[in-house]
Amino acid sequence: MYDVCIIGAGVIGSAIARELSRYDLNICWLEKSEDVACGTTKANSGIVHGGYDAKHGTLKGELSAKGNSMFKRLDKELSFGFAEIGSFVIGFDEDDEKEIKRLYENGLKNGARGLEIVDKEFISKKEPYINKEVKIGLYCKTAGIISPYEFAIALAENAVENGVILHLETEVVDINKEEKGFIIKTNRGNFTSKYVINAAGVHADDIARMVGINDFDITPRRGQYLLFDKEQGYLANSVIFQTPKNGTKGVLVTKTYHGNLLLGPSAEYIDDKGNIDTTKEVLEEILQTGKKSIPEVDGRKVITSFSGLRASSKNGDFIIEESEIKGFINVAAIDSPGLTSAPAIAVKVVDIVSNLGLQLKEKENFNPYRTPINRTENMSPEEINELIKKDPRYGRIICRCESVTEGEIIEALNRPIKVSTIDGIKRRVRATGGRCQGGFCTPRIIEIISRELNIPMEEIQKRNKGSNILVDRTKKAFEDYKGDC
Protein backbone atom coordinates (compact mmCIF):
# COMPACT_ATOMS: atom_id res chain seq x y z
CA MET A 1 0.00 0.00 0.00
CA TYR A 2 1.24 3.46 -0.93
CA ASP A 3 1.18 6.30 1.56
CA VAL A 4 -0.01 8.81 -1.01
CA CYS A 5 -1.46 8.53 -4.48
CA ILE A 6 -1.48 11.71 -6.57
CA ILE A 7 -3.89 11.80 -9.48
CA GLY A 8 -2.85 14.13 -12.27
CA ALA A 9 0.54 15.25 -13.51
CA GLY A 10 -0.05 18.83 -14.48
CA VAL A 11 1.88 21.59 -12.81
CA ILE A 12 -0.17 21.23 -9.60
CA GLY A 13 0.36 17.46 -9.35
CA SER A 14 4.03 18.00 -10.19
CA ALA A 15 4.53 20.64 -7.50
CA ILE A 16 2.80 18.43 -4.92
CA ALA A 17 4.79 15.35 -5.97
CA ARG A 18 8.03 17.25 -5.70
CA GLU A 19 7.13 18.76 -2.31
CA LEU A 20 6.12 15.36 -0.92
CA SER A 21 9.27 13.74 -2.31
CA ARG A 22 11.23 15.51 0.44
CA TYR A 23 9.80 13.01 2.93
CA ASP A 24 10.18 9.34 3.54
CA LEU A 25 6.97 8.21 1.84
CA ASN A 26 5.81 5.71 -0.76
CA ILE A 27 4.15 7.80 -3.40
CA CYS A 28 2.48 6.73 -6.61
CA TRP A 29 1.49 9.24 -9.19
CA LEU A 30 -1.04 8.54 -11.95
CA GLU A 31 -1.40 10.41 -15.23
CA LYS A 32 -3.66 9.45 -18.10
CA SER A 33 -1.60 11.17 -20.82
CA GLU A 34 1.69 9.96 -22.30
CA ASP A 35 3.62 12.76 -20.65
CA VAL A 36 3.36 15.23 -17.80
CA ALA A 37 2.00 18.76 -18.31
CA CYS A 38 -0.34 17.72 -21.14
CA GLY A 39 -3.54 19.40 -19.99
CA THR A 40 -4.12 22.91 -18.74
CA THR A 41 -0.42 23.35 -18.05
CA LYS A 42 0.81 23.14 -21.60
CA ALA A 43 -1.44 25.90 -22.92
CA ASN A 44 -0.86 28.62 -20.41
CA SER A 45 0.47 32.17 -20.55
CA GLY A 46 3.51 31.23 -18.47
CA ILE A 47 3.18 34.29 -16.28
CA VAL A 48 4.39 34.37 -12.69
CA HIS A 49 1.90 36.95 -11.51
CA GLY A 50 2.69 39.59 -8.93
CA GLY A 51 -0.13 38.46 -6.66
CA TYR A 52 -1.98 41.80 -6.55
CA ASP A 53 -4.92 40.75 -8.67
CA ALA A 54 -6.71 37.98 -6.75
CA LYS A 55 -9.04 39.27 -4.07
CA HIS A 56 -7.58 39.59 -0.61
CA GLY A 57 -8.93 37.00 1.78
CA THR A 58 -9.24 34.27 -0.83
CA LEU A 59 -6.94 31.30 -1.28
CA LYS A 60 -5.96 32.78 -4.62
CA GLY A 61 -4.91 36.01 -2.98
CA GLU A 62 -2.88 34.27 -0.32
CA LEU A 63 -1.23 31.63 -2.48
CA SER A 64 -0.44 33.70 -5.58
CA ALA A 65 1.57 36.30 -3.65
CA LYS A 66 3.30 33.54 -1.71
CA GLY A 67 3.90 31.43 -4.83
CA ASN A 68 5.47 34.37 -6.63
CA SER A 69 8.08 34.72 -3.91
CA MET A 70 9.18 31.09 -4.30
CA PHE A 71 10.19 31.09 -7.96
CA LYS A 72 13.73 32.43 -7.72
CA ARG A 73 14.80 29.73 -5.36
CA LEU A 74 12.96 27.03 -7.29
CA ASP A 75 14.71 28.09 -10.47
CA LYS A 76 18.07 27.90 -8.73
CA GLU A 77 17.29 24.35 -7.69
CA LEU A 78 15.52 23.10 -10.79
CA SER A 79 16.89 25.26 -13.64
CA PHE A 80 13.68 25.51 -15.64
CA GLY A 81 14.24 29.15 -16.54
CA PHE A 82 12.58 32.11 -14.82
CA ALA A 83 12.92 35.74 -15.88
CA GLU A 84 11.66 38.45 -13.56
CA ILE A 85 10.70 40.89 -16.30
CA GLY A 86 7.98 42.76 -14.41
CA SER A 87 4.39 43.46 -15.39
CA PHE A 88 2.18 46.42 -16.17
CA VAL A 89 -1.54 46.91 -15.87
CA ILE A 90 -2.11 49.84 -18.20
CA GLY A 91 -4.96 52.31 -17.97
CA PHE A 92 -6.42 54.72 -20.48
CA ASP A 93 -9.06 56.66 -18.53
CA GLU A 94 -10.37 57.55 -15.09
CA ASP A 95 -12.25 54.30 -14.62
CA ASP A 96 -9.04 52.44 -15.31
CA GLU A 97 -7.20 54.65 -12.87
CA LYS A 98 -9.71 53.84 -10.12
CA GLU A 99 -9.36 50.14 -10.80
CA ILE A 100 -5.57 50.35 -10.85
CA LYS A 101 -5.59 52.04 -7.43
CA ARG A 102 -7.90 49.35 -6.12
CA LEU A 103 -5.56 46.63 -7.47
CA TYR A 104 -2.62 48.34 -5.80
CA GLU A 105 -4.37 48.41 -2.39
CA ASN A 106 -5.49 44.81 -2.83
CA GLY A 107 -1.95 43.78 -3.75
CA LEU A 108 -0.51 45.35 -0.60
CA LYS A 109 -3.00 43.41 1.50
CA ASN A 110 -2.08 40.16 -0.29
CA GLY A 111 1.57 40.76 0.44
CA ALA A 112 2.52 41.28 -3.20
CA ARG A 113 5.99 42.77 -3.54
CA GLY A 114 7.40 45.42 -5.85
CA LEU A 115 4.16 47.28 -6.63
CA GLU A 116 4.16 50.84 -7.84
CA ILE A 117 1.65 53.13 -9.52
CA VAL A 118 3.45 54.74 -12.45
CA ASP A 119 2.82 57.42 -15.05
CA LYS A 120 2.92 57.41 -18.82
CA GLU A 121 6.56 58.44 -18.95
CA PHE A 122 7.65 55.51 -16.77
CA ILE A 123 5.67 53.06 -18.88
CA SER A 124 6.90 54.43 -22.23
CA LYS A 125 10.47 54.24 -21.06
CA LYS A 126 10.16 50.55 -20.23
CA GLU A 127 7.80 49.83 -23.12
CA PRO A 128 8.62 52.05 -26.09
CA TYR A 129 5.97 50.42 -28.31
CA ILE A 130 3.06 50.88 -25.90
CA ASN A 131 -0.12 52.60 -27.10
CA LYS A 132 0.53 56.34 -26.93
CA GLU A 133 -2.90 56.86 -25.34
CA VAL A 134 -1.82 55.17 -22.11
CA LYS A 135 -2.24 57.38 -19.02
CA ILE A 136 -1.36 55.36 -15.95
CA GLY A 137 -0.15 51.96 -14.95
CA LEU A 138 0.38 49.54 -12.11
CA TYR A 139 3.94 48.25 -12.31
CA CYS A 140 4.90 45.06 -10.54
CA LYS A 141 8.62 44.48 -10.49
CA THR A 142 8.42 40.92 -9.20
CA ALA A 143 6.20 39.51 -11.92
CA GLY A 144 7.98 37.22 -14.36
CA ILE A 145 7.76 34.62 -17.06
CA ILE A 146 8.52 30.94 -17.30
CA SER A 147 7.77 28.21 -19.77
CA PRO A 148 4.87 26.52 -17.95
CA TYR A 149 5.50 23.00 -19.18
CA GLU A 150 9.24 23.24 -18.67
CA PHE A 151 8.50 24.27 -15.08
CA ALA A 152 6.16 21.31 -14.59
CA ILE A 153 8.61 18.91 -16.23
CA ALA A 154 11.40 20.17 -13.94
CA LEU A 155 9.26 19.62 -10.84
CA ALA A 156 8.15 16.21 -12.08
CA GLU A 157 11.66 15.04 -12.99
CA ASN A 158 12.95 16.08 -9.60
CA ALA A 159 10.05 14.30 -7.88
CA VAL A 160 10.78 11.12 -9.83
CA GLU A 161 14.49 11.34 -9.07
CA ASN A 162 13.57 11.61 -5.41
CA GLY A 163 11.57 8.42 -5.52
CA VAL A 164 8.02 9.23 -6.59
CA ILE A 165 6.74 6.49 -8.88
CA LEU A 166 5.07 8.02 -11.93
CA HIS A 167 2.72 5.95 -14.08
CA LEU A 168 1.97 7.56 -17.45
CA GLU A 169 -0.89 6.50 -19.73
CA THR A 170 -2.66 5.37 -16.57
CA GLU A 171 -6.23 6.53 -16.40
CA VAL A 172 -8.20 6.32 -13.18
CA VAL A 173 -11.57 4.72 -13.85
CA ASP A 174 -12.89 4.21 -10.31
CA ILE A 175 -11.94 4.74 -6.68
CA ASN A 176 -13.18 2.72 -3.72
CA LYS A 177 -12.83 3.83 -0.12
CA GLU A 178 -11.84 0.89 2.08
CA GLU A 179 -11.18 0.81 5.77
CA LYS A 180 -7.44 1.40 5.57
CA GLY A 181 -7.35 3.53 2.50
CA PHE A 182 -8.36 3.65 -1.14
CA ILE A 183 -8.35 1.24 -4.04
CA ILE A 184 -7.69 3.24 -7.21
CA LYS A 185 -8.75 1.32 -10.30
CA THR A 186 -7.05 2.19 -13.60
CA ASN A 187 -6.67 0.87 -17.13
CA ARG A 188 -3.37 -0.57 -15.90
CA GLY A 189 -4.55 -2.32 -12.78
CA ASN A 190 -5.30 -1.32 -9.22
CA PHE A 191 -3.31 0.83 -6.83
CA THR A 192 -3.92 1.04 -3.10
CA SER A 193 -3.05 4.07 -1.04
CA LYS A 194 -3.72 5.58 2.39
CA TYR A 195 -4.26 9.06 1.01
CA VAL A 196 -5.42 10.31 -2.37
CA ILE A 197 -4.63 13.75 -3.69
CA ASN A 198 -6.92 14.74 -6.52
CA ALA A 199 -5.07 17.13 -8.82
CA ALA A 200 -6.85 16.09 -12.00
CA GLY A 201 -7.34 19.56 -13.45
CA VAL A 202 -10.50 19.91 -15.53
CA HIS A 203 -11.38 16.33 -14.58
CA ALA A 204 -11.05 16.84 -10.81
CA ASP A 205 -14.85 16.82 -10.37
CA ASP A 206 -15.14 13.53 -12.29
CA ILE A 207 -12.44 11.96 -10.10
CA ALA A 208 -14.13 13.28 -6.91
CA ARG A 209 -17.44 11.79 -7.99
CA MET A 210 -15.80 8.36 -8.14
CA VAL A 211 -15.60 8.40 -4.33
CA GLY A 212 -18.98 10.02 -3.94
CA ILE A 213 -18.07 13.68 -3.64
CA ASN A 214 -20.54 15.84 -5.49
CA ASP A 215 -20.04 19.25 -3.97
CA PHE A 216 -18.25 20.97 -6.84
CA ASP A 217 -18.26 21.14 -10.62
CA ILE A 218 -15.44 22.11 -12.91
CA THR A 219 -16.48 24.19 -15.88
CA PRO A 220 -13.73 24.47 -18.43
CA ARG A 221 -12.99 27.99 -19.53
CA ARG A 222 -11.12 28.02 -22.79
CA GLY A 223 -8.25 30.39 -23.49
CA GLN A 224 -6.93 30.83 -27.01
CA TYR A 225 -3.52 32.26 -27.78
CA LEU A 226 -1.50 33.60 -30.67
CA LEU A 227 2.24 32.93 -30.64
CA PHE A 228 4.44 35.19 -32.78
CA ASP A 229 7.83 34.87 -34.42
CA LYS A 230 10.73 35.85 -32.19
CA GLU A 231 11.29 38.67 -34.63
CA GLN A 232 8.31 40.34 -32.89
CA GLY A 233 9.74 39.80 -29.41
CA TYR A 234 11.14 43.33 -29.30
CA LEU A 235 7.63 44.74 -29.00
CA ALA A 236 7.25 43.86 -25.31
CA ASN A 237 9.84 43.87 -22.55
CA SER A 238 7.45 42.91 -19.77
CA VAL A 239 4.01 41.40 -19.27
CA ILE A 240 1.37 43.93 -20.33
CA PHE A 241 -2.22 43.67 -19.13
CA GLN A 242 -5.04 46.05 -19.83
CA THR A 243 -7.10 47.17 -16.86
CA PRO A 244 -9.44 44.28 -16.01
CA LYS A 245 -13.05 44.54 -17.07
CA ASN A 246 -15.73 42.08 -15.87
CA GLY A 247 -13.42 40.36 -13.44
CA THR A 248 -10.97 38.72 -15.87
CA LYS A 249 -7.44 39.81 -16.49
CA GLY A 250 -8.18 40.00 -20.19
CA VAL A 251 -5.84 39.75 -23.12
CA LEU A 252 -2.20 40.16 -22.22
CA VAL A 253 0.77 40.87 -24.42
CA THR A 254 4.06 39.42 -23.28
CA LYS A 255 7.43 38.25 -24.34
CA THR A 256 7.72 34.53 -23.61
CA TYR A 257 10.63 33.08 -21.71
CA HIS A 258 12.19 32.05 -25.01
CA GLY A 259 11.68 35.42 -26.66
CA ASN A 260 8.53 35.04 -28.76
CA LEU A 261 5.63 37.44 -28.47
CA LEU A 262 2.44 35.93 -27.00
CA LEU A 263 -1.10 37.33 -27.10
CA GLY A 264 -4.04 35.88 -25.22
CA PRO A 265 -5.97 34.35 -23.63
CA SER A 266 -9.64 34.54 -24.42
CA ALA A 267 -12.10 33.37 -21.74
CA GLU A 268 -14.90 31.19 -23.10
CA TYR A 269 -17.03 28.86 -21.01
CA ILE A 270 -17.48 25.61 -22.91
CA ASP A 271 -19.08 22.25 -22.20
CA ASP A 272 -16.63 19.79 -23.66
CA LYS A 273 -13.55 19.07 -21.54
CA GLY A 274 -11.71 17.88 -24.63
CA ASN A 275 -12.42 20.89 -26.81
CA ILE A 276 -9.21 22.79 -27.32
CA ASP A 277 -10.05 23.99 -30.83
CA THR A 278 -9.16 27.49 -31.87
CA THR A 279 -11.70 29.65 -33.68
CA LYS A 280 -11.18 32.33 -36.28
CA GLU A 281 -13.38 34.96 -34.61
CA VAL A 282 -11.71 34.67 -31.23
CA LEU A 283 -8.18 34.71 -32.62
CA GLU A 284 -9.03 37.84 -34.58
CA GLU A 285 -10.48 39.45 -31.45
CA ILE A 286 -7.33 38.61 -29.47
CA LEU A 287 -5.19 40.24 -32.12
CA GLN A 288 -7.33 43.38 -32.14
CA THR A 289 -7.40 43.60 -28.33
CA GLY A 290 -3.66 43.02 -28.12
CA LYS A 291 -3.11 45.84 -30.58
CA LYS A 292 -4.79 48.16 -28.12
CA SER A 293 -1.78 47.60 -25.86
CA ILE A 294 0.88 47.40 -28.57
CA PRO A 295 -0.42 48.80 -31.86
CA GLU A 296 2.55 47.59 -33.92
CA VAL A 297 1.90 43.86 -33.43
CA ASP A 298 2.05 42.31 -36.90
CA GLY A 299 -0.65 39.67 -37.43
CA ARG A 300 1.28 38.19 -40.34
CA LYS A 301 4.04 37.07 -38.00
CA VAL A 302 1.94 34.54 -36.09
CA ILE A 303 3.70 31.16 -36.06
CA THR A 304 1.01 29.17 -34.30
CA SER A 305 -2.17 29.47 -32.32
CA PHE A 306 -3.35 27.15 -29.56
CA SER A 307 -5.83 26.93 -26.75
CA GLY A 308 -6.10 25.45 -23.29
CA LEU A 309 -8.79 24.91 -20.69
CA ARG A 310 -8.75 26.53 -17.30
CA ALA A 311 -10.34 24.43 -14.58
CA SER A 312 -12.84 26.91 -13.15
CA SER A 313 -15.43 26.47 -10.45
CA LYS A 314 -18.54 28.40 -9.58
CA ASN A 315 -17.39 30.20 -6.45
CA GLY A 316 -14.23 31.41 -8.18
CA ASP A 317 -11.66 30.35 -5.60
CA PHE A 318 -9.30 27.38 -5.44
CA ILE A 319 -10.57 24.28 -3.64
CA ILE A 320 -7.73 22.90 -1.50
CA GLU A 321 -9.01 20.78 1.36
CA GLU A 322 -9.69 17.36 2.76
CA SER A 323 -13.06 16.34 1.39
CA GLU A 324 -15.94 14.82 3.29
CA ILE A 325 -14.22 11.48 2.58
CA LYS A 326 -11.41 11.09 5.07
CA GLY A 327 -7.98 10.91 3.46
CA PHE A 328 -9.19 12.21 0.10
CA ILE A 329 -7.82 15.66 -0.62
CA ASN A 330 -9.13 17.82 -3.41
CA VAL A 331 -6.82 20.26 -5.09
CA ALA A 332 -9.31 21.50 -7.61
CA ALA A 333 -10.54 24.52 -9.51
CA ILE A 334 -7.00 25.72 -9.91
CA ASP A 335 -7.49 28.28 -12.61
CA SER A 336 -5.50 31.49 -12.93
CA PRO A 337 -3.27 32.33 -11.04
CA GLY A 338 -2.71 28.60 -10.59
CA LEU A 339 0.71 28.41 -12.19
CA THR A 340 1.99 31.18 -9.95
CA SER A 341 0.39 29.60 -6.91
CA ALA A 342 1.57 26.04 -7.65
CA PRO A 343 4.60 26.04 -5.30
CA ALA A 344 2.56 27.52 -2.44
CA ILE A 345 -0.34 25.15 -3.12
CA ALA A 346 2.07 22.23 -2.80
CA VAL A 347 3.28 23.44 0.60
CA LYS A 348 -0.31 23.88 1.75
CA VAL A 349 -1.21 20.35 0.62
CA VAL A 350 1.72 18.94 2.56
CA ASP A 351 0.43 20.79 5.64
CA ILE A 352 -3.01 19.30 5.13
CA VAL A 353 -1.78 15.70 4.89
CA SER A 354 0.49 16.26 7.85
CA ASN A 355 -2.40 17.56 9.93
CA LEU A 356 -4.41 14.50 8.93
CA GLY A 357 -1.81 12.36 10.62
CA LEU A 358 0.58 11.36 7.84
CA GLN A 359 4.02 11.00 9.37
CA LEU A 360 6.44 13.31 7.54
CA LYS A 361 10.05 12.43 8.10
CA GLU A 362 12.54 14.33 5.96
CA LYS A 363 14.67 12.15 3.72
CA GLU A 364 18.36 12.34 4.31
CA ASN A 365 19.16 11.96 0.65
CA PHE A 366 16.60 14.35 -0.81
CA ASN A 367 18.23 16.13 -3.72
CA PRO A 368 16.57 19.46 -4.46
CA TYR A 369 18.69 20.01 -7.56
CA ARG A 370 18.02 18.96 -11.09
CA THR A 371 20.54 18.95 -13.92
CA PRO A 372 18.95 20.59 -16.94
CA ILE A 373 19.48 19.50 -20.53
CA ASN A 374 22.56 21.11 -22.08
CA ARG A 375 21.44 24.06 -24.19
CA THR A 376 24.14 24.93 -26.71
CA GLU A 377 22.20 28.04 -27.68
CA ASN A 378 23.10 29.62 -24.35
CA MET A 379 26.76 28.57 -24.36
CA SER A 380 29.91 30.40 -25.40
CA PRO A 381 31.85 29.01 -28.39
CA GLU A 382 34.45 27.63 -25.96
CA GLU A 383 31.82 25.80 -23.90
CA ILE A 384 30.23 24.40 -27.04
CA ASN A 385 33.57 23.13 -28.28
CA GLU A 386 34.24 21.42 -24.94
CA LEU A 387 30.89 19.70 -25.22
CA ILE A 388 31.39 18.70 -28.86
CA LYS A 389 34.74 17.18 -27.96
CA LYS A 390 32.98 14.92 -25.48
CA ASP A 391 30.04 14.20 -27.78
CA PRO A 392 30.09 15.38 -31.41
CA ARG A 393 26.32 15.17 -31.63
CA TYR A 394 26.16 18.56 -29.90
CA GLY A 395 27.64 20.01 -33.09
CA ARG A 396 24.82 18.92 -35.37
CA ILE A 397 21.88 21.31 -35.42
CA ILE A 398 18.62 19.53 -36.14
CA CYS A 399 16.04 22.24 -35.42
CA ARG A 400 17.39 25.32 -37.11
CA CYS A 401 14.71 27.76 -35.94
CA GLU A 402 15.34 27.10 -32.24
CA SER A 403 18.93 25.98 -32.71
CA VAL A 404 18.59 22.52 -31.15
CA THR A 405 21.29 19.92 -31.66
CA GLU A 406 21.07 16.17 -32.03
CA GLY A 407 22.79 15.85 -28.64
CA GLU A 408 20.05 17.84 -26.94
CA ILE A 409 17.30 15.79 -28.59
CA ILE A 410 18.94 12.57 -27.48
CA GLU A 411 19.21 13.97 -23.94
CA ALA A 412 15.49 14.78 -24.02
CA LEU A 413 14.78 11.12 -24.81
CA ASN A 414 16.80 9.93 -21.84
CA ARG A 415 15.55 12.00 -18.93
CA PRO A 416 14.07 10.68 -15.66
CA ILE A 417 10.66 10.75 -17.36
CA LYS A 418 10.92 8.84 -20.62
CA VAL A 419 9.20 10.24 -23.68
CA SER A 420 9.17 9.08 -27.28
CA THR A 421 6.93 11.65 -28.93
CA ILE A 422 7.57 14.69 -31.10
CA ASP A 423 5.66 16.95 -28.69
CA GLY A 424 7.50 15.47 -25.71
CA ILE A 425 10.77 16.56 -27.32
CA LYS A 426 9.30 19.93 -28.18
CA ARG A 427 8.38 20.59 -24.57
CA ARG A 428 11.87 19.69 -23.38
CA VAL A 429 14.16 21.31 -25.95
CA ARG A 430 11.77 23.30 -28.22
CA ALA A 431 12.64 21.43 -31.44
CA THR A 432 9.67 21.87 -33.87
CA GLY A 433 8.40 24.80 -31.80
CA GLY A 434 9.95 27.56 -33.88
CA ARG A 435 8.93 29.60 -36.85
CA CYS A 436 8.82 26.72 -39.35
CA GLN A 437 6.82 24.63 -36.85
CA GLY A 438 8.79 21.49 -37.57
CA GLY A 439 8.63 21.72 -41.36
CA PHE A 440 12.34 21.03 -41.73
CA CYS A 441 13.23 19.06 -38.62
CA THR A 442 10.28 16.71 -38.08
CA PRO A 443 11.65 14.09 -40.54
CA ARG A 444 15.05 14.20 -38.86
CA ILE A 445 13.63 14.00 -35.34
CA ILE A 446 11.53 11.01 -36.34
CA GLU A 447 14.71 9.35 -37.60
CA ILE A 448 16.51 10.08 -34.33
CA ILE A 449 13.68 8.74 -32.14
CA SER A 450 13.40 5.67 -34.35
CA ARG A 451 17.13 4.99 -34.16
CA GLU A 452 17.60 5.74 -30.45
CA LEU A 453 14.52 3.95 -29.13
CA ASN A 454 14.32 1.30 -31.82
CA ILE A 455 10.75 2.14 -32.85
CA PRO A 456 9.69 1.89 -36.53
CA MET A 457 9.31 5.38 -38.03
CA GLU A 458 5.62 4.95 -38.86
CA GLU A 459 4.87 4.17 -35.21
CA ILE A 460 6.26 7.43 -33.88
CA GLN A 461 3.56 9.64 -32.43
CA LYS A 462 3.07 13.36 -32.26
CA ARG A 463 1.65 12.90 -28.77
CA ASN A 464 -0.70 10.17 -27.51
CA LYS A 465 -1.45 6.89 -29.29
CA GLY A 466 -3.24 7.40 -32.59
CA SER A 467 -1.42 10.60 -33.43
CA ASN A 468 1.15 8.98 -35.70
CA ILE A 469 2.90 11.23 -38.19
CA LEU A 470 3.48 8.64 -40.93
CA VAL A 471 1.14 5.91 -42.06
CA ASP A 472 3.13 3.56 -44.29
CA ARG A 473 6.19 2.90 -46.45
CA THR A 474 5.86 4.03 -50.06
CA LYS A 475 7.07 0.90 -51.82
CA LYS A 476 5.81 -2.65 -51.75
CA ALA A 477 9.46 -3.59 -52.00
CA PHE A 478 9.67 -2.41 -48.38
CA GLU A 479 7.14 -4.90 -47.11
CA ASP A 480 9.72 -7.21 -45.59
CA TYR A 481 11.96 -4.28 -44.75
CA LYS A 482 12.71 -3.81 -41.09
CA GLY A 483 14.49 -0.51 -41.50
CA ASP A 484 17.98 0.50 -40.59
CA CYS A 485 17.49 4.21 -40.10
Q: From residue 283 to residue 312, what is the string marking binding to another protein with x (rule CB under 8 A)?
A: x----------------x-xxxxx------
Q: CA 197, CA 321: separation in Å to the nearest integer?
A: 10
Whether the CB-CB separation of 353 and 329 falls below 8 Å is answered with yes
Q: Does 455 bind another protein (CB under 8 A)?
A: no
Near another protein by CB under 8 A: residue from 438, 445, 448, 449 = 438
DSSP state of 448: H
Cβ distance to another protein smaller for residue 372 or 395: 395
Instruction: Pick out residues in 194-253 that bind another protein (CB under 8 A).
Output: 227, 231
Compute the residue count for the chain.
485
132-140, 336-344, 365-373, 475-483 -> range binding another protein (CB under 8 A): 475-483
Question: Contacts with another protein in 353-372 (CB under 8 A)?
Answer: none
Closest distance to another protein from the beta carbon of 393 (Å): 6
- Of residues 43 through 102, those in contact with another protein by CB under 8 A are none
Whether 49 is catalytic is: yes
Positions 397 through 436 that interact with another protein (CB under 8 A): 397, 400-401, 403, 406, 435-436
Backbone angle region of 111, left / alpha / beta, with phi > 0 → left and psi within -120 to 50 → alpha = left
464 binds another protein (CB under 8 A): yes
Query: d(Cα 40, Cα 220) in Å, to the nearest integer?
Result: 10
Does the protein bind another protein through residue 189 (CB under 8 A)? no
Closest approach, Cβ 292 to another protein, in A, equals 19
Q: Applying CB under 8 A, which part among 60-68, 119-127, 354-362, 473-481 lies near another protein? A: 473-481
DSSP 154: H
Total residues binding another protein (CB under 8 A): 63
Residue 375 interacts with another protein (CB under 8 A)? no
DSSP code of residue 484:
-
Q: Decide: is 485 part of the binding site for another protein (CB under 8 A).
A: yes
Smallest CA-to-CA distance from 74 within 144, 155, 149 is with 155
Largest CA distance in the chain: 74
Question: Would you count residue 466 as binding another protein (CB under 8 A)?
Answer: yes
119-136 burial, b for 16+ CB within 10 Å, e for fewer? ebeebeebbebbbeebeb
Determine if 23 is a binding residue for another protein (CB under 8 A). Answer: no
Q: Does 121 bind another protein (CB under 8 A)?
A: no
209 versus 465: smaller Cβ distance to another protein: 465
Select the residue interacting with another protein from 209, 443, 453, 459 (CB under 8 A). Answer: 443
The residues near 24 (Cβ < 8 Å, ≥ 6 apart) are 361, 362, 363
Minimum gap (Å) between residue 107 Cβ and another protein: 35
Binds another protein (CB under 8 A): choice among 384, 416, 420, 451:
384
Amino acid making up residue 138: L
Name the β-bridge partners of 338. none
The candidate with the shortest Cα–Cα distance to 84, out of 2, 14, 143, 35, is 143
Helix (H, G, I), strand (E, B) or coil at 188: coil
106 counts as binding another protein under rule CB under 8 A: no
> For helices 422-429 and 406-413, what crossing angle results, to 10°?
110
Answer for the pair 289, 299: CB distance below 8 angstroms, yes or no.
no
Report, in Å, the least distance between residue 401 CB and another protein. 8
| Orientation of helix 59-68 relative to helix 94-110, angle to 10° | 80
Angstrom distance (rounded) from CA 409 to CA 389 = 18
Q: Quick one: which H or E segment has residue 186?
A: strand 182-186
- Nearer to another protein (CB atom), residue 101 or residue 444: 444
394 binds another protein (CB under 8 A): yes
Which listed residue (95, 277, 296, 324) binds another protein by CB under 8 A?
A: 277
Question: Which is nearest to 4 in space by CA: 12, 21, 14, 15?
Answer: 21
Give the interface with another protein as residue ranges (CB under 8 A). Answer: 227, 231, 274, 276-280, 283, 300, 302-306, 376, 381, 384-385, 388-389, 392-397, 400-401, 403, 406, 435-440, 442-443, 447, 457-458, 461-478, 481, 483, 485
Return the active site residues. Answer: 49
